[in-house]
């Protein structure tokens, strides 16, 4: 039976507290950008780029963005396919989370691998557990750093893992569950290739199902890829059986990413009184309105003579229309009636 071994350290508790604070603030934020879709698209680009770059894909971030927008780029077909597959697998887990599936089954894990490995591996290896022993080597020294379980053990280990994963354990925080699942799937190494990607995507799905999707704005892959050596070292540290250090690393990464998103949203919603004013409703703003609110929050007010410094390429009339809409929404007020009038928050 799979029973993960770890201690809830002060670092883990502090990281989870930051995650909780960020998630709570984002969920209850009274102001959100109308361009929410842009945030999500950016997260998908970051996930697809960093999620494949950490595995050795040489394409640049701008290449990944172009690929996902349907543009042609110069690159190996395999590298391009990896980016496309990553987007498709993110769409798949979005759909699974939207269905609120109550169990993550072997079929779900196999499906994740089929999408990730499409047109990358031989057809007989896609979505199928490996049938031979593999080892993980240091790319520079050639030294064997990890020997996964034998192929005969894989089906049994996956079943044991899924039994644990699907238990109704309400005392286990979803972020810890995601971190444990991430490591265990990497340890089992059920597929011939693509195990890291499957593990990272599975962890994200677990966060989604646990209510920690923060509007799909985040990308844990970016955190791992920024220092891949540290990522792999922390995975390896847990090979002793004690997951505590790995969970400190995993929860810290989640807290960094969640806090980053919180700060983006916080710029729009500094005044907690707005939540009460709008009776719990969330108000969506255009990109221009976001800039106006940010400027007012920084300077204290805005006047007509300041428009050109905020929007050098936009007419005064266009800015005034945005201001009038913000006044209608009850977010700002106009003080005075001449060209010297000020616009400030209510």
What does 126-137 look like in DSSP terms, one character per residue?
TTS---S---EE
Residue 172 token pair: 């286990």
d(CA 18, CA 31): 21
* β partners of residue 303: 342
Identify the active-site residue in 53, 113, 183, 189: 189
Q: E strand or H helix at 344, and its extent?
A: strand 342-345
pLDDT of residue 281: 64
Q: Let me know if 303 is exposed, middle or buried by CB neighbors in 10 A (0-12, 13-18, 19+).
A: middle
**CA distances in angstroms from 245 to 10, 94, 191, listed in the order given:** 11, 29, 25
Region 207-221: mean pLDDT is 80
pLDDT digits (tens, 9 = 90+) for 233-256: 999 999 889 999 999 999 999 999
Q: E strand or H helix at 146, and its extent?
A: strand 144-146
d(CA 23, CA 255): 10
Look at the block and give the residue holding tokens 């006044």.
Answer: 327
Rounded to two decimals, the pTM is 0.78
Cα angle: 265, vertex 38, 294; to 5 degrees: 35
Q: 41-45, 176-180, 290-294 — which is least confidently predicted? A: 290-294
Q: Which residues are annotated as a binding site?
A: 193-200, 231-232
Asked if 50 is an active-site residue, the reply is: no
Q: Which residues are annotated as a binding site for ATP?
A: 193-200, 231-232
pLDDT digits (tens, 9 = 90+) for 180-213: 999 999 999 999 999 999 999 999 999 999 988 7
pLDDT digits (tens, 9 = 90+) for 20-71: 988 887 777 654 555 566 677 888 999 999 999 999 999 999 999 999 999 9
**9 Cβ contact list (under 8 Å, min separation 6):** 244, 248
d(CA 322, CA 324): 5
Secondary structure letter of residue 33 according to DSSP: E
Report yes or no: 203 and 213 within 8 Å, Cβ to Cβ. Answer: no
d(CA 272, CA 221): 32
* Domains, the chain, with CATH or none: 10-27+35-266 (1.10.3290.10), 286-345 (1.10.10.10)
Report yes or no: 256 and 221 within 8 Å, Cβ to Cβ. Answer: no
What percent of the chain lies above the pLDDT cut of 70? 90
pLDDT at residue 121 greater than cutoff 70: yes
């Amino acid at each position: 039976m799979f029973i993960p071994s770890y201690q809830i350290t002060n670092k883990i508790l502090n990281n989870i507290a930051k995650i909780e604070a960020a998630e709570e603030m984002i969920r209850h934020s009274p102001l959100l950008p109308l361009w929410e879709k842009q945030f999500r698209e950016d997260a998908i680009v970051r996930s697809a780029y960093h999620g494949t770059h950490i595995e050795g894909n040489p394409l640049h971030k701008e290449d990944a963005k172009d690929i996902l927008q349907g543009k042609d780029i110069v690159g190996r077909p395999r590298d391009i396919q990896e980016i496309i597959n990553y987007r498709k697998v993110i769409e798949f887990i979005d759909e699974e989370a939207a269905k609120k599936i109550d169990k993550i089954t072997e079929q779900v894990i196999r499906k994740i691998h089929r999408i990730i490995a499409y047109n990358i591996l031989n057809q007989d290896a896609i979505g199928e557990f490996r049938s031979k022993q593999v080892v993980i080597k240091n790319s520079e020294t050639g030294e064997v750093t990890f020997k996964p379980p034998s192929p005969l053990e894989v089906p049994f280990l996956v079943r044991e893992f899924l039994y644990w994963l699907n238990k109704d354990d309400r005392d286990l925080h979803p972020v810890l569950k995601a971190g444990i699942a991430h490591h265990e799937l990497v340890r089992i190494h059920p597929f011939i290739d693509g195990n890291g990607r499957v593990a990272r995507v599975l962890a994200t799905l677990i966060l989604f199902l646990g209510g920690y999707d923060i509007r799909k704005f985040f990308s844990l892959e970016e955190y791992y890829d920024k220092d891949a050596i540290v990522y792999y070292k922390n995975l390896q540290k847990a090979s002793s059986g004690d997951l505590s250090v790995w969970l400190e690393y995993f929860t810290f990464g989640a807290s960094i990413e969640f806090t980053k998103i919180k700060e983006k949203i916080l710029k729009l919603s500094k005044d907690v009184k707005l939540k009460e004013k709008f009776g719990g409703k969330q108000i969506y703003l255009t990109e221009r309105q976001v800039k106006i609110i940010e400027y007012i929050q920084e300077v204290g007010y805005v006047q007509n003579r300041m428009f050109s410094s905020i929007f050098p390429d936009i007419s005064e009339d266009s800015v005034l229309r945005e201001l009038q809409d913000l006044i209608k929404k009850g977010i700002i007020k106009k003080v005075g009636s001449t060209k010297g009038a000020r616009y400030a928050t209510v």
